[in-house]
Amino acid sequence: MLCRDGSGRIEKAMSFILLQSAPSNPLLQFGPIVLIFVIFYFLLFMPMQRQKKQQQKMLSELKSGDVVLTNGGIMGTIVAINDDDSIIVRVKPDGVKLQMARGAVASLVKPETKS
């Protein structure tokens, strides 16, 4: 058991010990920040890059006869693909043909299987 005399030596010694710390490496201070950026990269940026690559692959593989859905919500069948990266889409029921940029295609519509 520690005895404390009136001079407060134990309190001074404890505060002196607590105030003395080993010199820390400045790189360790940036460790948590670097860790946060690494986590953001794996959780946000990698999936976005993967999705962008899949979208580019889908756009490059478009062919005549594919049923597509555009960013504007128009669903139609590709009639022709021009050299200037524009496509011509036929929209049901009137058969109206619309010319639009290839990048306006949001997704391919899978044909429905009738059972």
For residue 28, what are its two tokens? 């360790």
Q: In terms of Cα–Cα distance, which of 102, 94, 95 is closest to 70?
A: 102
Give 66-88 pLDDT, tens digit per residue: 999 999 999 999 999 998 989 99
pLDDT along the chain (115 residues), means of 10: 56 64 73 91 92 94 94 94 93 93 93 63
Which runs of consecutive H residues, i.e. helices, occur in 1-115?
A: 9-19, 26-29, 31-40, 46-60
DSSP state of 8: -
Q: How far apart are CA 22 and CA 3, in angstroms?
A: 29
What dotted CATH number matches 63-108?
A: 2.30.30.140
Longest alpha-carbon distance in the chain = 100
Name beta bridge partners: 49.
none
Order of all β-strands in the sheet with 96-101: 96-101, 86-91, 75-81, 67-70, 105-108
Tokens 């619309």, residue located: 98
* Domain extent listing, the chain: 24-61, 63-108
Q: Amino acid identity of 4?
A: R
**pTM to 2 decimals?**
0.63
